[in-house]
Structure 1
Amino acid sequence: MQFLTRTVWWVIPVIWLPVVCWCVSRSFMMGHTLPEIATMVITGIFVWTLLEYTLHRFLFHIKTKSYWGNTAHYLLHGCHHKHPMDGLRLVFPPAATAILCIPFWNLVLLLATPSTAPALFGGGLLGYVMYDCTHYYLHHGQPSKDPARNLKRYHLNHHFRIQNKGFGITSSLWDRVFVTLPPPKGYDKS
């Protein structure tokens, strides 16, 4: 089953950006103006950042005890922590993303109007694409300037220093809100 967890990074934008464009265009064809659509897309991206934090903290770092629970956790996220520099385990496989999109699309349809749902969902999906590409870059890119350099330091701190803090990937916003910022380096816990 491990072969299902391996994906090259560029597959994510190739597959999902056309879906984002289609979703956003649906809201446009239903009569929304460009400023309205921009607001919906930005809202979708913002909601994604909370979802990114929540999934990483509560699902990807769930404590499991059974064989099948441990296996599922390892395939979902444990293999990434065991091999953090494996370039084929840094983005979420498209088939799994497609499966997860179904309940999220239905949730957006439930909470939004039929004409705003596509752009909101498209914004969330764009946030996901940005997240996965950022995640790959943080592991394999060599940023020389902030904020990317600080974000790389922040994320690698989660991998190599304190794994139960610093769950945000694209920002530390929700770690600040939910008090899961890692302590400064050299901090004495006593």
Structure 2
Amino acid sequence: MTPFKLEQSPVLYFADFVLYPAAIIIGAGVLLWQGAGPVWALLLAAALGFLSWSLIEYGLHRFVLHGLQPFKRWHEEHHQRPFALIGTSTLVSLSMLGLLVLWPLSAILGRWIGLSATLGVGAGYLLYVLVHHATHHWKAAPGSWMHARKRDHALHHRPGAHGWYGVTTSFWDRVFLTDRNR
């Protein structure tokens, strides 16, 4: 059982569902325990981090997973086998969150605001993991938000489709006009 395989064991695949909530709770606990700053500033940073996730998600999906090798080849495997437990390992995603979000934001904004914003981004990533899994494995009530997510993601998975890169929202697809087939 290696955390760096494309297709993962159920234990490793579902680790995000346990470890991300734990990390978010522990991080929030550290902020509260440390008296890290005005609560309004920490909540604002977390909210902005959470909201920024949707643009990060869109950009990664469109430009990295559909544009750069070897990520493109790996992502194509997911398109070929949408029910397989294929995904980024928790070890890799947490490392990238620390390296690409926590470290620079802490250097720029200070450790507590940086941590708070990173917890928001991490919560956005957790939402993405849950929604992406649900789009492939769960039923959704017609007319519901999840039903719209499943529909758009199914359009994204059609052979030859270019677009519908947002998983948690179609907002950026509408902004960048990738919510239609070209």
Normalised TM-score (structure 1): 0.81
Aligned 8 A contact 1:23 1:121 in 2: no
Aligned 8 A contact 1:92 1:132 in 2: no
In 2, Cα distance between the equivalents of 1:96 and 1:48?
Answer: 17
Q: Say whether 1:138 aligns with 2:143.
A: no
Q: Choose 120-129 or 95-104, whichever is displaced more.
A: 95-104
Pick aligned residue for 1:14 from 2, 13, 18: 18
1:147 aligns to what?
145
The number of residue pairs the alignment matches comes to: 175
2:53 aligns to what?
48
For structure 2, the residue ranges without an aligned partner over 5 or more in a row are: none
Which structure exhibits the higher relative contact order, with contacts defined as CA atoms closer than 8 Å and separated by 6 or more residues? 1
In 1, Cα distance between the equivalents of 2:88 and 2:108?
Answer: 26
State the 1:10 CA deviation: 2.7
Aligned 8 A contact 1:20 1:125 in 2: yes
User: Deviation per CA, 1:114-171, whole angstroms, max 9, x where unpaired?
Assistant: 2211111011011101101110001111001411111100111000155311110000
Normalised TM-score (structure 2): 0.84
State the 1:175 CA deviation: 1.0
Runs of 4+ with deviation above 4 angstroms: none
For structure 1, the residue ranges without an aligned partner over 5 or more in a row are: 64-68, 184-188
> Counterpart amino acid of 2:131?
T
1:93 aligns to what?
89
Report the identity percentage: 22
> Counterpart amino acid of 1:93?
S
Instruction: Trace 1:57-76 onto structure 2 (pairs within 5 A).
Output: 57-62=62-67, 69-70=69-70, 72-75=71-74
